Copies of this chain bind each other. A is one copy, B any other.
Amino acid sequence: MEALIDYLLQFGHLNQQQIDLVKSKAVFREIKKDEHYQEAGKIPREVIFLTEGIFRICYYNNKGVDITKYFIDEGNFVVDINSYNQNIPSSEYAQAITDCKFIVLSKEAMKQLSMTIIGWDDIIAKITSKGLSEKVNKISTMMSEDATERYLNFFERFPKLANRIPLSYLASYLGITQSSLSRIRKNISG
């Protein structure tokens, strides 16, 4: 819970009363590895803050292939913000690829915080744009790298994960086939 508060405070000030209010609205939840937190077709009605574990966001492309859009690790919010904002079904899945613990803020809770805390919306806006910009930057950078560089960067960021998640999750994220990824790994380690 403190992790969430610390995170929020990076983006704006909250006094103790406001912090307590946030805490009072937040609910813990956890899911096991491989479970889906959110499924395509459903309207997201809450925002979560990951405190433990890693999610992958994925979708089926126009060829029906499961594509990992990005990974999210602890200390970050998870939500399909457009579907959430506009109340429309999401087109992506959020799957726990390790056991995960997180803090839930329902849309109701968010609304109340917004109405009660001056500056809340500003904090959320900053978090949103920062989170999305990071995703743009990350994927954009990958576009000008070759597969090996992409893998090495992923490995650097998620060293424990690289050899523990299914090849398919990682390969689709890196924009290569599973066999290519397998060969790249071999070349690096060998």
Point out the residues of chain B lying under 8 angstroms from A125, CB to CB. Answer: 85, 121, 124-125, 128
Could you say which of A19-27, A46-54, A138-146 contacts chain B? A138-146
Point out the residues of chain B lying under 8 angstroms from A139, CB to CB. Answer: 136, 139-140, 143
Closest B residue to A65 by CB, please name it.
Answer: B144
Chain A contact surface mostly: helix
CB distance from A172 to the nearest CB of B (A): 6
Q: Answer whether residue A70 sits at the interface, using C-beta atoms and an 8 A cutoff.
A: yes
Q: Is the CB of B124 within 8 A of A132?
A: no
Q: Answer whether residue A157 sits at the interface, using C-beta atoms and an 8 A cutoff.
A: no
Q: Kindly state the separation between the CA atoms of A136 and B180 in the bound complex, as whole angstroms.
A: 24
Q: Kindly state the separation between the CA atoms of A70 and B143 in the bound complex, as whole angstroms.
A: 11
Q: Identify 8 residue pairs between A and B in the complex whose beta-carbon atoms are under 8 Å apart, listed by A's number.
A: A65-B144, A70-B140, A81-B129, A85-B129, A128-B128, A132-B133, A132-B135, A139-B140
